[in-house]
């Protein structure tokens, strides 16, 4: 399972928008609240100034009422006619009937009481509510409720003020209602024809009683609504008040209903404001939701984009199969590890781990199974390393491990051993039991390296060496190894040049019949004369050519040359039954191999039976099925097949049953001991006997001594090859050698039989 990238933290669009919307809403709401409060304050202010204004007008009204009373009484009292007719005996006809001081005083001015008091303070004339009334004195009419009013002093004041044509004035209460009283002494009014009368002057008293109707009307005339005397039901807070001072000292409180412009304003504006608020709340709510939804969407897509980005970065830097880092971030990690090593005085270890025999798993089972093995290997490796170490997959079955901060090499060695051990442990996948091993290349550095990537090259060289040394082991890089690798690279280039310039030659080593001594064939052995190094052994360059693929053009040349030489021999009449060519497994497995062989035979007009191909058991290691199929096709064609180096491989006996071969060549290492080592002798006897049971011919390789020849002959080994008979030789020497041997054989008595 690939490791999934860490989910990145969510973006804050939503939170941000929510916060700013809340702030905005709060702000607007606050503003609305302030506006509302200001409105109420203004309204209250309006109301208050309205109260002040109406108080002013009520005052004005009262003053004007008083003023009117004073003006009226002045007009009638300081008038010569009235002085003459009202001072002594009252001229009732003049006063009431002719209405000089009669009914019109009530009708026109609203004076409830009109009194005239003579010099002795006796009431001589009384008109109450417009009706003349006899026997009613001013003091008795007024005195009913007006105990506190000292009429005499008012009259005295009026007589005193008369000199300056002024009048006396007082306010008193009657049944709670204000009563305005004005008194003025009669004078001639400056009329020179009116005779002055002796003694205290008669006084005119006018009474203006402000009852509810009159008060209301007085208020209305000044635009004041419901002017009245306050009673217990009045709300002192609502209606303004005016205290009218009375002679008794207890003021009379007037109240009225002032207009409330503030209330009116509020009545109009508050609903509008409220409506605005509601609309605002609705719109804000709507906007809030819409914006939040948009933000949520934006967040979602933003997060998705971020997730994709993170995923992309992860995919670009990690192996999709194992989830391990891939080579793209390796360089960075390696550089970092080198810096850490330099700074901390430690070392950095780099391991290159390559699985052995992984390819057959892929080919023989399935890629799916191979993938699972790789995943399991990755898991096992990750379980071994510490946090901070890096395990990366380079591709295929190759892994890199970086161990920074290494203190001693033993620890590295221990880790490498654990890798080998844990990777080699059995795998049980899809009910299949498998085993895989690994070759590990190790390099340790102090970090002082210009190109940290070189460490990987070094680990690779070491790993290559580990493979060469038989796999399933760890090899440590040394400076010498680098030199060796360098040489290999040089060799490879030289080899390429040799292929291009055909700088090879073929030598041949004859094979002889153990019994008759006849030449039964010759093995073609490649020779390369290097311009500097001289003759280079095929053992040195064939393995390299196999890994580089250069073995293909080389073998094509060998096949062609060997067939060409055999054709020449046949054409010359030099009899050689068969020529043997060594074939590398890598080439045999090529799909075109069979047709390549056919083409070579056809080109030189040879029978298939004249060609023998030497293969090793390693062909069966990888792609056994394909190898078997190719071998069967070759066998069918008639080409002979021999197993080379028999005995040193891995499979031996078991495969002999299935391999369609004609002969086996017992490896030189067994032949060597046949004349002195019992075990080797026994092994050879066993191989010969078994091969004969399977109807296979047996060739002994590397026969050098007579003792070996005798042993092999006695044990019925069919053919022999080795320095005892002939060393590998040039084609022209081979020609001579065959002619010589065949000639001798033709004359020998044994051959005659």
Where along the sequence are the contacts to ligand C2E (CB under 6 A)?
A: 509, 524-526, 537-539, 542, 555, 558, 582-584, 614, 644-645, 701-704, 722-723, 728
Toward Ca ion, which CB reaches closer, 376 or 614?
A: 614
Look at residue 520 and give the partner it binds from Ca ion, ligand C2E, none, a contact being a CB closer than 5 to 8 Å depending on partner kind. none
From the CB of 612, what's the least distance to ligand C2E, in Å? 12
- Please state, in angstroms and rounded to a whole number, the distance separating the CA atoms of residues 123 and 131: 15
**Residues in contact with Ca ion, shown as a per-residue x/- string from 570 to 609 under the rule CB under 5 A:** ------------x---------------------------
From the CB of 504, what's the least distance to Ca ion, in Å? 16
From the CB of 621, what's the least distance to ligand C2E, in Å? 16
From the CB of 336, what's the least distance to ligand C2E, in Å? 46
- Please state, in angstroms and rounded to a whole number, the distance separating the CA atoms of residues 398 and 390: 14
Toward ligand C2E, which CB reaches closer, 647 or 728?
A: 728
- Please state, in angstroms and rounded to a whole number, the distance separating the CA atoms of residues 370 and 434: 10
- Please state, in angstroms and rounded to a whole number, the distance separating the CA atoms of residues 205 and 182: 6
The DSSP code sequence of 652-670 is THHHHTTS--SEEEE-HHH
From the CB of 358, what's the least distance to ligand C2E, in Å? 25
Toward Ca ion, which CB reaches closer, 397 or 644?
A: 644
626-655 residues in contact with Ca ion (CB under 5 A) are 644-645
For residue 326, CA distances in Å to 34, 314, 543, 656 come to: 65, 10, 31, 44
- Please state, in angstroms and rounded to a whole number, the distance separating the CA atoms of residues 521 and 571: 17
First to last CA, the chain: 76
- Please state, in angstroms and rounded to a whole number, the distance separating the CA atoms of residues 640 and 605: 16
Q: Which helix (H) or strand (E) holds 283?
A: helix 261-317
> Is beta strand 432-434 parallel, antiparallel or unpaired with respect to 398-406?
unpaired
- Please state, in angstroms and rounded to a whole number, the distance separating the CA atoms of residues 15 and 292: 9
Question: How many whole angstroms from its chain centre is CA 638?
Answer: 69
Q: Total residues contacting Ca ion (rule CB under 5 A)?
A: 5
Toward Ca ion, which CB reaches closer, 455 or 687?
A: 687
**Residues in contact with Ca ion, shown as a per-residue x/- string from 255 to 294 under the rule CB under 5 A:** ----------------------------------------
Q: Which stretch binds Ca ion (CB under 5 A): 55-63, 91-99, 108-116, 614-622?
A: 614-622
Toward Ca ion, which CB reaches closer, 157 or 719?
A: 719
Look at residue 138 and give the partner it binds from ligand C2E, Ca ion, none, a contact being a CB closer than 5 to 8 Å depending on partner kind. none
**Residues in contact with Ca ion, shown as a per-residue x/- string from 523 to 562 under the rule CB under 5 A:** ----------------------------------------
- Contact predicate 62/244, CB 8 Å: yes
From the CB of 543, what's the least distance to ligand C2E, in Å? 9
Look at residue 509 and give the partner it binds from Ca ion, ligand C2E, none, a contact being a CB closer than 5 to 8 Å depending on partner kind. ligand C2E
- Please state, in angstroms and rounded to a whole number, the distance separating the CA atoms of residues 121 and 200: 9
Query: With left for phi above 0 and alpha for psi between -120 and 50, is residue 471 left, alpha or beta?
Result: left
Toward Ca ion, which CB reaches closer, 127 or 600?
A: 600
Toward ligand C2E, which CB reaches closer, 167 or 726?
A: 726
From the CB of 568, what's the least distance to ligand C2E, in Å? 18
Toward ligand C2E, which CB reaches closer, 146 or 738?
A: 738
Residue 641's nearest CA partner among 653, 632, 649 is 632
- Please state, in angstroms and rounded to a whole number, the distance separating the CA atoms of residues 466 and 477: 10
From the CB of 585, what's the least distance to Ca ion, in Å? 13
From the CB of 465, what's the least distance to ligand C2E, in Å? 21
- Contact predicate 613/640, CB 8 Å: yes
From the CB of 616, what's the least distance to Ca ion, in Å? 8
Question: How many whole angstroms from its chain centre is CA 367?
Answer: 34
- Please state, in angstroms and rounded to a whole number, the distance separating the CA atoms of residues 708 and 302: 84
Toward Ca ion, which CB reaches closer, 492 or 668?
A: 668
Look at residue 225 and give the partner it binds from ligand C2E, Ca ion, none, a contact being a CB closer than 5 to 8 Å depending on partner kind. none
Angle at 635 between CA 633 and CA 641, to 5 degrees: 125
Binder among 84, 460, 614, 719 for Ca ion (CB under 5 A): 614
Look at residue 81 and give the partner it binds from ligand C2E, Ca ion, none, a contact being a CB closer than 5 to 8 Å depending on partner kind. none
Look at residue 610 and give the partner it binds from Ca ion, ligand C2E, none, a contact being a CB closer than 5 to 8 Å depending on partner kind. none
Toward ligand C2E, which CB reaches closer, 161 or 542?
A: 542
Toward ligand C2E, which CB reaches closer, 282 or 723?
A: 723
- Please state, in angstroms and rounded to a whole number, the distance separating the CA atoms of residues 524 and 600: 15
Q: How many CB atoms lie within 10 A of CB 703?
A: 28
Toward ligand C2E, which CB reaches closer, 346 or 584?
A: 584
Toward ligand C2E, which CB reaches closer, 389 or 644?
A: 644
Toward ligand C2E, which CB reaches closer, 399 or 670?
A: 670
- Please state, in angstroms and rounded to a whole number, the distance separating the CA atoms of residues 215 and 238: 19
- Contact predicate 444/412, CB 8 Å: yes
- Contact predicate 449/342, CB 8 Å: no
Q: Virtual CA dihedral for 476, 480, 486, 489, nearest 10 degrees?
A: -60
For 699, the 3-state DSSP assignment is: strand
Structure tokens at 706: 């007579």
Q: Give the number of residues written for the chain.
A: 753
Toward Ca ion, which CB reaches closer, 130 or 649?
A: 649
From the CB of 574, what's the least distance to ligand C2E, in Å? 22
> Is beta strand 697-700 parallel, antiparallel or unpaired with respect to 663-666?
parallel
- Please state, in angstroms and rounded to a whole number, the distance separating the CA atoms of residues 180 and 166: 16
Residue 629's nearest CA partner among 688, 588, 673 is 588
Look at residue 116 and give the partner it binds from Ca ion, ligand C2E, none, a contact being a CB closer than 5 to 8 Å depending on partner kind. none
From the CB of 583, what's the least distance to ligand C2E, in Å? 6
Could you identify the residue written with the tokens 């860490």? 6
Look at residue 188 and give the partner it binds from Ca ion, ligand C2E, none, a contact being a CB closer than 5 to 8 Å depending on partner kind. none
Structure tokens at 311: 């995923």
From the CB of 685, what's the least distance to Ca ion, in Å? 20
Radius of gyration of the chain from its Cα atoms, rounded to whole angstroms:
70
From the CB of 551, what's the least distance to Ca ion, in Å? 14
Toward ligand C2E, which CB reaches closer, 583 or 594?
A: 583
> Across-strand partners of 390?
402
From the CB of 537, what's the least distance to ligand C2E, in Å? 5
From the CB of 508, what's the least distance to Ca ion, in Å? 12
681-710 residues in contact with Ca ion (CB under 5 A) are 701
- Contact predicate 466/475, CB 8 Å: yes
Look at residue 538 and give the partner it binds from Ca ion, ligand C2E, none, a contact being a CB closer than 5 to 8 Å depending on partner kind. ligand C2E
Toward ligand C2E, which CB reaches closer, 302 or 527?
A: 527
Look at residue 452 and give the partner it binds from ligand C2E, Ca ion, none, a contact being a CB closer than 5 to 8 Å depending on partner kind. none
- Contact predicate 466/474, CB 8 Å: yes
Could you identify the residue written with the tokens 């009334």? 133
From the CB of 601, what's the least distance to Ca ion, in Å? 20
Q: Which helix (H) or strand (E) holds 613?
A: strand 611-615
Residues that bind Ca ion (CB under 5 A): 582, 614, 644-645, 701
């Amino acid at each position: 399972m690939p490791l999934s990238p860490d989910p990145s933290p969510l973006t804050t669009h939503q939170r941000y928008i929510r916060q700013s919307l809340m702030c905005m809403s709060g702000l607007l709401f606050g503003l609305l609240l302030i506006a509302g409060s200001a409105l109420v304050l203004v309204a209250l202010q309006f109301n208050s100034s309205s109260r002040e204004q109406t108080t002013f007008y009520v005052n004005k009204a009262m003053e004007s009422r008083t003023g009117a009373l004073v003006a009226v009484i002045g007009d009638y009292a300081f008038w010569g006619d009235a002085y003459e007719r009202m001072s002594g005996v009252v001229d009732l006809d003049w006063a009431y009937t002719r209405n000089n001081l009669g009914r019109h005083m009530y009708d026109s001015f609203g004076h409830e009481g009109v009194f005239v008091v003579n010099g002795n303070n006796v009431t001589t004339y009384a008109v109450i509510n417009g009706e003349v009334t006899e026997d009613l004195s001013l003091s008795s009419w007024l005195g009913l409720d007006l105990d506190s009013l000292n009429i005499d002093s008012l009259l005295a004041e009026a007589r005193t003020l008369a000199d300056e044509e002024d009048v006396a004035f007082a306010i008193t209460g009657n049944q709670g209602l204000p009563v305005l009283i004005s008194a003025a002494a009669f004078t001639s009014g400056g009329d020179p024809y009116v005779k002055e009368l002796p003694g205290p002057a008669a006084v005119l008293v006018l009474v203006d009683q402000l009852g509810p109707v009159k008060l209301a009307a007085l208020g209305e005339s000044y635009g004041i609504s419901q002017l009245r005397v306050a009673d217990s039901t009045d709300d002192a807070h609502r209606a303004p008040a005016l205290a009218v001072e009375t002679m008794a000292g207890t003021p009379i409180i007037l109240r009225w209903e002032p207009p409330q412009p503030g209330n009116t304003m509020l009545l109009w504006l508050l609903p509008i404001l409220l409506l605005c608020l509601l609309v605002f709340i609705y719109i804000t709510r709507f906007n809030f939701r819409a914006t939040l939804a948009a933000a949520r969407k934006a967040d979602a897509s933003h997060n998705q984009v971020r997730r994709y980005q993170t995923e992309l970065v992860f995919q670009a830097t990690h192996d999709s199969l194992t989830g391990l880092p891939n080579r793209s971030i390796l360089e960075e990690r390696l550089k970092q590890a080198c810096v850490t090593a330099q700074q901390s005085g430690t070392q950095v270890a780099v391991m290159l781990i390559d699985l052995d025999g992984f390819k057959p798993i892929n080919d023989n089972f399935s890629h799916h199974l191979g993938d699972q093995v790789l995943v399991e290997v990755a898991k096992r490796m990750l379980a071994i390393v510490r946090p901070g170490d890096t395990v990366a997959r380079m591709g295929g079955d190759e892994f890199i491990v970086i161990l920074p901060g290494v203190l001693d090499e033993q620890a590295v060695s221990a880790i490498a051993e654990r890798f080998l051990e844990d990777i080699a442990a059995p795998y049980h996948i899809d009910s299949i039991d498998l085993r895989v091993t690994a070759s590990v290349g190790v390099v340790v550095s102090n970090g002082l390296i210009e190109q940290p990537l070189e460490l990987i090259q070094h680990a690779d060289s070491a790993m290559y060496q580990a493979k060469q040394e038989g796999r399933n082991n760890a090899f440590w890089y040394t400076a010498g190894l680098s030199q060796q690798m360098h040489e290999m690279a040089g060799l490879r280039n030289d080899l390429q040049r040799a292929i291009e310039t055909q700088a090879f030659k073929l030598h041949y080593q004859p094979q002889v019949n153990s019994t008759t001594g006849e030449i039964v064939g010759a093995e073609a052995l490649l020779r390369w004369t290097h311009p500097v190094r001289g003759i280079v052994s095929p053992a040195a360059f064939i393995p390299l050519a196999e890994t580089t693929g250069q073995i293909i053009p080389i073998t094509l040349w060998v096949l062609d040359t060997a067939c060409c030489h055999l054709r020449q021999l046949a054409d010359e009449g030099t009899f050689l039954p068969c020529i043997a060519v060594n074939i590398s497994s890598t080439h045999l497995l090529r799909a075109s191999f069979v047709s390549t062989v056919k083409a070579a035979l056809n080109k030189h007009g040879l029978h298939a039976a004249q060609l023998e191909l030497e293969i090793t058991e390693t062909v069966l290691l990888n792609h056994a099925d394909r190898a078997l199929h190719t071998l069967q096709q070759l066998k069918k064609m008639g080409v002979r097949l021999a197993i080379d180096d028999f005995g040193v491989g891995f499979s031996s006996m078991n495969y002999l049953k299935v391999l369609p071969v004609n002969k086996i060549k017992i490896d030189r290492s067994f032949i060597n001991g046949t004349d002195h080592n019992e075990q080797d002798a026994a092994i050879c006897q066993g191989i010969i006997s078994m091969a004969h049971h399977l109807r296979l011919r047996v060739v002994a390789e590397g026969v050098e001594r007579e003792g070996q020849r005798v042993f092999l002959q006695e044990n019925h080994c069919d053919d022999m090859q080795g320095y005892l008979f002939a060393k590998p030789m040039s084609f022209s020497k081979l020609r001579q050698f065959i002619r010589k041997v065949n000639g001798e054989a033709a004359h020998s008595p044994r051959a005659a039989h």
